[in-house]
Structure 1
């Protein structure tokens, strides 16, 4: 799917490294920098792809994704805001379905920075009766960094819903999630002594005491992926498994085999924003190649 994004016809050359393209109905910023390639949809300020030089794509994007106005994209890093899950309609909030504005960008030999903004409008006030201002700062180079800044006067929950591209769900493990979690499949609060999470069937958990970063060991791709969680209270781990994937129109039946979500979040307790105190949520992703034996 990433190859398609990087071959889209150019509508505007913004800088030597940044181009404005269009995928079906949605405008997409394509990044082609010596340190990394990537793509960001203006709908949702949604990171679609990030691929450091010499690496396979790090983010998973479904080949069945819809690039239609107002329709959520399956994969990448959706911004879930101002609620997570089924706490409201649409699921995971409206920020990922809204058109954001690119308000600033810069680049140097190491990376590119892009800044997007979203403010309340007639559509959002029907769904959620609050004034707000959001800023999403995205940096792409040898690492991918995303920071969400929320302004206004309200309470909310949020997540950076990161889909990672893996070789084989049966082989991966995730560490750094902590011992305590809410299980959304069987229900209830649980504690585990296992230091690593492995996957067999549907997994949908909110870890409530995660470490400062999580590590996804991906032996099939001969690498590990770190996700550093900042200003987060929770980390979410999700894979739909075979049966649920078959019922998802925007995911191939076997799509679950090559993706896993490890999300930076605050969802168990709402955060409160006041006019003099914004709230932040940040994630940094980096790859490490495994040494050959």
Structure 2
């Protein structure tokens, strides 16, 4: 899918390294810079891919995901906002509406090191179908050797949120994630609380855990691709670790049956307690990704 995106015809050359293209029903912003290649959809301000020069693709994107208006994309970095997980009202979309609505590209910049992009979503008649509040939400990406992501939410409300990042791995059986702390809520077991003895998570089967006291840095150790990836968290209360395992993977139409084998989600999140946004102080959530070591 990522190869396909970079082969799409250019509709608008915004700058020498930033272009606008179209994949099925969705507009895609493509970054092709000497230091980094990346792609994002205007729907959801959704980062699809990020590949620093000389590295393997860092993010995972499903080859089965449909690029349709209003349909959530499977992979990359979905923006989960203003709620995480299922809504109290079962008619509302899981993980909020921000990832399903069109945003605007409000600013962009570039230099020798990479590209910066700012996307904006404002309350509208469409958003009020899901949520009554007035808001302005910004998603900022600074893409180069590292990937810096930030959500900034303005208004008067409470929200939960996550940067639901899918990382490309060689084989989930050879992956472990450290720096998660001990305490977690196990969503596979209906919200039971548990403890990791050493703060290191492996993924032998379906895993869906909200870590309650994670460190500022999570590390993905990928023995198969012989690299580690640092995930630096800011303004978060939680880190979420997720992999659907074989049974759930088979049941998901937008994922290959064996898709679970080649990704792990390590999500910077505010889940266990809502954030408050006020006129004086926006709510923020941020993460920085970097390929730390390659053997």
Match of 1:43 in 2: 43
Distance 1:96 1:169 in 2: 26
Paired residue for 2:94, among 91, 96, 99?
91
Paired residue for 1:281, among 275, 285, 289?
285
Give 1:66 shift: 1.0
Paired residue for 2:137, among 134, 139, 153?
134
Match of 1:267 in 2: 271
Distance 1:75 1:261 in 2: 9
- Secondary structure of 1:107's aligned partner: strand
Match status 1:210 vs 2:214: yes
Distance 1:219 1:199 in 2: 13
Distance 2:194 2:146 in 1: 33
C-alpha contact 1:137 1:148 (8 A) present in aligned 2: yes
Give 1:194 shift: 2.4
Give 1:192 shift: 2.1
Q: TM-score, normalised by structure 2?
A: 0.97
Give 1:275 shift: 1.2
C-alpha contact 1:175 1:215 (8 A) present in aligned 2: yes
Report the count of equivalent residues.
Answer: 291
Give 1:277 shift: 1.1
In the alignment, structure 1 segments of 5+ residues that lack a partner are none
- Secondary structure of 2:242's aligned partner: strand
In the alignment, structure 2 segments of 5+ residues that lack a partner are none
C-alpha contact 1:2 1:57 (8 A) present in aligned 2: no
Match of 1:252 in 2: 256
Match of 2:203 in 1: 199
Structure 1 residues 169-180: aligned runs within 5 Å: 169-180=172-183
Match of 2:168 in 1: 165
CA RMSD of aligned residues (A): 0.8
Describe the superposition over 1:66-116 as per-residue Cα deviations: whole angstroms up to 9, x where unpaired. Answer: 100000000000000000000252000000001000010000000100001
Distance 2:293 2:34 in 1: 19
Give 1:262 shift: 0.2
Match of 1:57 in 2: 57
Distance 1:261 1:100 in 2: 24
- Secondary structure of 1:8's aligned partner: coil
Match of 1:181 in 2: 184
Match of 1:26 in 2: 26
Distance 2:194 2:111 in 1: 46
